[in-house]
Amino acid sequence: MTHDRGSVPRWWDGASSATPSSATRLASRPSHFTEIPRARRPHGGRRARSLRVRRPIPRGFGFLTTVNVEDDTAPLSTKFRTRFAGRNTTYSTTDAFVKVFEGVGAEKRIARTVAFDEAQSASEHRVSPSITYRDDSRVDFELLKDPGTLGTMLADAESDGLQRELLLAGAGRLIARVHTAPAEPSMSVEDVRNERLTSFGSISLSRWIDASAGELECWRLFHHDTSLVNAVDNFRLAISREKTRSPIHADLRLDQVVFSEGRLWIVDFEEYRYGWPGLDLGSFVGSILHEAVLRAVSSIDTEHDSVLGAHEEIVGTMVDALRTAAPDAKQFLTAYEESGGYRVDRVDLGRCVGWFIIGRTIARSMLAAQLSAIDKALAGIGRQALIDPESASELFGNVR
């Protein structure tokens, strides 16, 4: 494959490029809080602050930053808490998982979370832990015992084909149950909240000021790629014209599906709404492929003597990983459709997968000083899927 270097960013090489310095503004905080060093933050995670770090992050729990907080004035049920990283303040007590909603749109996110809980309460088959308490800013959920994400379970069962099939089929059935549930009359019909999709061609001044050097490099590559910007605009328009609508999760990934005591659950319904089910399917398939690629390339030595050699090794490993993971995606989609879910066109699915991978590249760049060769190659795969989903379907293998 060849590209005109004058018009297309250098997705596929490992050469670093100069990036603007970050002008991050840090909010004031109590002196007894300490920031977890960047080297210990998980991939794609956010900054987390803690009083004391008691143990390392468990393998596979890339979305968690675990700390124990002791408060002698707190009641027994909240004295020892496990806090998690994310856009909200979240932690587990001895009998509940607590989420304190913060930031822009917190009120709407609480309303959506409660709306889903009320909708599933009318069903005999729950797909998410029930709400046990809520107020204007906080929601407590039923605590799951020894939970593990689906991504972790799949990684641990890498050589156990039957176990993988059972997990993926279970996820497909759960998501079909969400999509085929009756829509509540009061359910939001607004488009899925996605700032990156609606304003992909530019970023605000405040976003630029707070961005890391890696994120600025990422946006520089994207904004100079006219073909990609146009493909994202076309994708957004295609979504708005889709006539198929159902209740959807709208923020679905492998780490939103949790295994506990022999069954699967879907969590984090704060973007729950009435929308196109293809968004959920594309995100979930994209997450399967993305996680498989990251596991495969994690052992590659990117400090290669030859830039071309590093590039060839990374891309070759990624292509192999995508083909190897394709049966997992097919298993999930087959179970989903057999459980009454919607059938999404293969080309549309390819676009959704491409957008998911682009989104994960942006998320990973937020905590990086520069884009790695691996992230550039991942972005290139997402770019190809958005611009030419027909050809990208060959890369993904026989998913459909």
pLDDT-derived band at 274 (thresholds 50, 70, 90) equals: confident
| pTM of the predicted model as reported, rounded to 2 decimal places | 0.74
pLDDT at 127: 96
Distance of alpha carbon 121 from alpha carbon 372, whole angstroms: 45
> Which whole number is the average pLDDT over 154-173?
89
Distance of alpha carbon 307 from alpha carbon 17, whole angstroms: 13
pLDDT-derived band at 189 (thresholds 50, 70, 90) equals: low
Contacts of 122 (CB under 8 A, 6+ apart): none
Distance of alpha carbon 98 from alpha carbon 317, whole angstroms: 40
Residue 91 pLDDT exceeds 60? yes
Residue 32 pLDDT exceeds 70? no
pLDDT at 47: 43
pLDDT at 396: 58
- Average the pLDDT over each of 16-30, 149-163, 168-182 and give the range with the smallest value: 16-30
pLDDT at 7: 42
> Which whole number is the average pLDDT over 129-140?
94
Interval 36-48: pLDDT, tens: 344 444 444 444 4
Q: CA separation (Å) from 321 to 11, 163, 190, 395? A: 19, 19, 36, 10
Interval 222-250: pLDDT, tens: 999 999 999 999 898 888 888 888 999 99
Residue 217 pLDDT exceeds 70? yes
pLDDT at 121: 86
Contacts of 278 (CB under 8 A, 6+ apart): 242, 244, 342, 344, 345, 348, 349, 352
CB-based contact 124:239 (threshold 8 Å): no
Q: In 10 A of CB 106, how many CB atoms?
A: 16
374 vs 24, higher pLDDT: 374
Residue 19 pLDDT exceeds 60? no
> Which whole number is the average pLDDT over 86-99?
86
Cα end-to-end span (Å), the chain:
25
The two three-digit tokens of residue 167, written as one number:
């997990």
CB-based contact 139:272 (threshold 8 Å): no
**What phi, psi does 168 have (nearest 5°)?**
-70, -40
> Could you give the 3-state DSSP secondary structure of residue 363?
helix
Torsion of CA 15, 355, 218, 289, to 10 degrees: -40
Q: CA separation (Å) from 359 to 187, 259, 310, 348, 382? A: 26, 25, 24, 17, 9
**What phi, psi does 172 have (nearest 5°)?**
-60, -40
DSSP secondary structure letters along 84-118: E-SSSEEEE-SSEEEEE--STTHHHHHHHHHHHHH
Q: What percent of the chain has pLDDT over 90?
A: 40
Q: CA separation (Å) from 162 to 64, 166, 168, 334, 356? A: 28, 6, 10, 15, 27
pLDDT-derived band at 290 (thresholds 50, 70, 90) equals: very high
pLDDT at 200: 82
CB-based contact 176:170 (threshold 8 Å): no
Q: Identify the top-confidence range among 57-66, 115-124, 252-261.
A: 252-261
> Could you give the 3-state DSSP secondary structure of residue 200?
coil
Strand-pairing partners, residue 368, are: none
pLDDT at 50: 37
Residue 13 pLDDT exceeds 90? no
The two three-digit tokens of residue 193, written as one number:
């909240």
pLDDT at 374: 87
pLDDT at 395: 59
Interval 293-326: pLDDT, tens: 998 888 776 565 555 556 778 888 888 888 888 8
